[in-house]
Structure 1
Amino acid sequence: MANRLDAIVFGATGYTGKHVAAEVIRHAQKRPGFTWGVAGRSEDKLKKVIQDLEKKTEQDLSNVKVIVADIVDEKSLVEMAKQAKLIINAVGPYRFYGEPIVKACIEAGAHQVDISGEPQYMERMQLEYGEKAKEKGVYIVSACGFDSIPAEMGTVFVEDKFDGTVNSVETYLESWTDAPLTGPALNFGTWESAVYGLAHADELKSLRKQLYPVRTPKFEPRLEKRSVVHKSDVIEGKWCVPFPGSDRSVVMRSQRYFYDNDKKRPVQMEAYLVVGSLFSVVILGICAGIFALLAKFKPGRSLLLKYPGLFSLGYFSKDGPKEEELPLTNFAITLYAKGWSADKKLAEPTDQHTEPPNKTLVAKVQGKDPGYGATSMMLVTAGLTILDEKDKLPETGGVLPPGAVFAKTSLIQKLNENGVTFEVLNIKTEDNKEA
């Protein structure tokens, strides 16, 4: 890979891709000799993106390579991948456009990171290309954005700080704005992924049987799901509902990896969304019911995709958010972990505990602009960590979730330094004293 570019942003002309390219520029300033390029279907549009970024960042980008590659032209994708150590893929929905890039990267020997939050896509890629990627020595890592770095690396962080054995983690996602938004919060691509993800959710059961033909043993005590609508003392008695995103599926894939490869007791996990008021719960429930019903049928999906603003109450739009309003949005994920203190450690990590958990830990991961600013930073930082810390990565490669890949790296430290912070709020032992 000596003569290759360090990284190529594929899909740099898209809404998310432009933010990713801007983030690469920020990192490149701190990395002497760093080389990179942008790729997509239109050379003119790519050059326009570079020109706009030059004005915005006041940087000389004349050395940034422009590469024409089309998702429907397999040869062009392979030629693109041959020119890079790392492909940062910003072209979604990945259900439709992700696989050709994965194939090209494996053939060309390039690593790939993306921001997919689509469990069916991610698990199918692991099933069909995991061994091929391992043989080629490349890492294909999805879910490297807001879906699902905070939950994934938050769970890794919790285990690292727990000083004992973690039995379960519950996550509570909150989002708020510093001022009322005058436009949508997210662009159409995320909405489209959600529509098709729900439409094909039934695929997951069959996929998982193939991916994991032998089930993980059940460890006690089992983490029971909370009621569909509930208040949680972890986040000051606010109303919560199950979180429909990919966080749980991604975290559980990493936990299965740790069990299979390290013989480590897997952490049980459930994810929840903090809604705030009971009125908001009712409105969310109505919207979710309509969304779920329409997504199951082709005519319904057509309506959802034609009128995203209507069916999301203005939260999504084909026009995308206003750039000046992106920094107004904040997010926080509170993680509540239960388990056993270090003095209760068993002889073998796969043994069963015979007494109830005696320790809890509460941690928080938070930042700003989850959809684009934080997501782009997490994506680029994750990709560069693959290049920088190969000796800390597992095995020789593979199609793996972020937690499995980055658990032993300095990714959490890098995220802390770049605006997504990880902190322990409290640790308590059985006698209710702070540890």
Structure 2
Amino acid sequence: MSEKLDVIIFGASGFTGKYTVFEAITVLQDYRWGIAGRSQEKLENVLKDMGTKAQKNLMDTPIIIADINNENSLLGMANKCRVLVNCCGPYRFFGEPVVRACLEAGTHHVDVSGEPQYMETIQLKYNKEAIDRKVYIISACGFDSIPAELGIVFIEKNFDGVVNSVESYLQSYTKGEDTGGARIHYGTWESAVYGLAHSNELQEIRSKLYNEKLPKFHPVLKHRPLIFRSEIVNGVCLPFPGSDRSVVMRSQRFLYERDHKRPVQMHAYVTFKSWLSAALVALFAVTFGLLTKFSFGRQLLLKYPKIFSFGFASHEGPSEALMERTHFSFIMRANGWPNSDRLLESTDQYAEPPTKTLTVKVSGSNPGYGATCVALLCTAVTILKQNDKMPGPGGVLPPGAAFAKTSLISELEKYEHGIKFEILANK
């Protein structure tokens, strides 16, 4: 291969990887791209299957053999492209060697990790080197962090004032008759098990990562009750257990420290139709959390995902029919002050409570393996096209910090499995 490829999809024969290959046919149609993994046969099968699905011959797509346990093969792969799209998780176990290879090769890296311990450890260990080598290492580039992060970017672009806080409400539903079946693949389940099991690591990581606490801005966005009915979405809500808030707050800290921008406070919730549904999910979450704290409990969760997830997770993953019928939306309500009340310095405090609100909707379909794959590839394209609009020469960054000044939002809106951003109310 005499010339570098623009993009290589690593882990292309995995569940997320193969659907990323399918979306690449459209998203990367103007770029030179290839796929990578450890099995030539499996990679060829992916090209055959996804080509049949798209009614296109993909068999001329470059194939690179790379194994997570072979550092030389990882470096060889990284040297063959400008941006590496890493679909090989759980990233807690498999992410760091790929990042090191990309740093050595001078290749940008994006992935769909939702694992705060992994993401913040990588930032702690490699941010300076990434800046020195002018390489972007960006995690959380899928569902659900991209809708949350870019939702806040969209809010601030349309707010016409200063945003103090945002509450985010995730809703999902399946069109047509719900015949059951898994919603997520085992890999996502495994990441959740280990992420929650080691959540106590975060305090120590953050104490090393951040020497100073952010100043307290007023009014403070208070947590809602553990279970409550929200007038914003007319549903019963629980705290959202994903990494959205931690990823958003990393971006807000970065923008405060770099640009002296007042940080946006944020809390994330998930919405259910009834009190009973919310109560049952809360009970499941408590049980799941307790089981992850013990070795035996983790073994049970990992050995019997279908049983302990009530069929929500499986090694086979969801069917394509179910994925295509699944839709999501984030309703995001922002509060702040109009431009007429803008303060001179970002560290100044307002004497009056917020008087302005903006409500937006961020929505799409097939969140886990459609919107996620499109978002991941769109971040790679944005790095290729708009490197000059990204902060500094490089670094280990969350997506909100990395892409705030780019046109990623309009890129996401182009595709069938893309993400739509719209204003619902501006008062």
What SS does the aligned partner of 1:285 have? helix
Q: Distance in 2 between matches of 1:56 and 1:405?
A: 33
TM-score normalised by L of structure 1: 0.96
Identity rate, percent: 52
- Correspondence list, 1:35-434, <5 A: 35-179=32-176, 180-236=178-234, 238-418=235-415, 419-428=418-427
Superposed CA offset, 1:163-186 (max 9, x none): 000000010001110020431111
Contact 1:116 1:147 in 2 (8 A): no
Q: In terms of mean alpha carbon deviation, does 48-57 or 336-345 score higher? A: 48-57
3-state SS of paired residue (2:352):
coil
Does the CA-based 8 Å contact 2:66-2:74 persist in structure 1?
A: yes
Mapped partners of 1:378, 1:366: distance in 2? 12
Which amino acid is the alignment partner of residue 419 of structure 2? V
Deviations 1:196-230 (CA, angstroms, capped at 9, x unpaired): 00000001111111111111111111010010011
Contact in 1 for aligned 2:238/2:282 (Cα 8 Å)? no
Give the Å deviation of 1:367. 0.4
Tell me whether 321-330 or 331-340 shows the greater mean CA deviation: 321-330
| Cα distance in 2, alignment partners of residues 356 and 82 from structure 1 | 53
Q: CA deviation at 1:244?
A: 0.5
Aligned equivalent of 1:25: 25
- Which one-letter code corresponds to 1:48 in the other structure? N
User: Are the structure 2 counterparts of residues 385 and 2 from structure 1 closer, same or farther at C-alpha, using a change threshold of 3 Å?
Assistant: farther
3-state SS of 1:129 partner: helix
Moved more, 109-118 or 304-313: 304-313
Q: Which amino acid aligns with 1:315?
A: F
Paired with 1:195 and 1:389, the residues of 2 have a C-alpha distance of 36
Q: Is the 8 A contact 1:336 1:360 kept in 2?
A: yes
Letter of the 1:260 counterpart: E
1:208 aligns to what SS in structure 2?
A: helix
**Counterpart Cα distance in 1 of 2:152 and 2:179:** 31
> How far does residue 51 in structure 1 lie from its aligned partner after superposition?
1.9
SS of 2:5 mapped into structure 1: coil
Inter-CA distance 75–161: structure 2 relative to 1 (3 Å threshold): same
Aligned 8 A contact 2:44 2:59 in 1: no
Q: TM-score, normalised by structure 2?
A: 0.98
Instruction: Give the conservation status (yes or no) of the 8 Å contact 1:115–1:147.
Output: no
| Partners of 2:28 and 2:377 within 8 A in 1 | no
In the alignment, the residues of structure 2 paired with residue 347 and residue 26 of structure 1 have an alpha-carbon distance, to the nearest angstrom, of: 46
- Distance in 1 (CA, whole Å) between partners of 2:60 and 2:325 is 33
Q: CA RMSD of the aligned region, Å?
A: 1.2
Q: How many residues align?
A: 424
Task: Please tell me the residue identity of whatever aligns with 2:112.
Answer: I
- CA distance in 1: counterparts of 2:385 and 2:206, whole angstroms: 32
Cα offset for 1:100? 0.6
3-state SS of 2:103 partner: helix
Aligned residues of 2:156 and 2:163 also touching (Cα < 8 A): yes
Other structure's SS at 2:43 match = helix
Q: How many Å separate the matches in 2 of 1:181 and 1:95?
A: 33
Once the 2 structures are TM-superposed, how far is the Cα of residue 416 of structure 1 from its aligned partner? Answer: 1.8
Task: Provide the C-alpha distance between the structure 1 equivalents of 2:143 and 2:312, rounded to a whole number of angstroms.
Answer: 17
For 1:356, the aligned partner's letter is: P
- SS of equivalent residue, structure 1 residue 371: helix
Q: Distance in 1 between matches of 2:187 and 2:86?
A: 14
Deviation at 1:2, TM superposition (A): 9.6
Task: Give per-residue Cα distances to partners, 1:28-60, cap 9 Å, x unaligned.
Answer: 33x1xx211111011111112112222222323
Q: Which runs of 4+ in 1 moved over 3 A?
A: none
Indicate the SS of the match to 1:408. coil
CA distance in structure 1 between the partners assigned to 2:280 and 2:222 by the alignment: 26
- CA 1:272–1:2 in structure 2 vs 1: closer, same or farther (change >3 Å)? farther
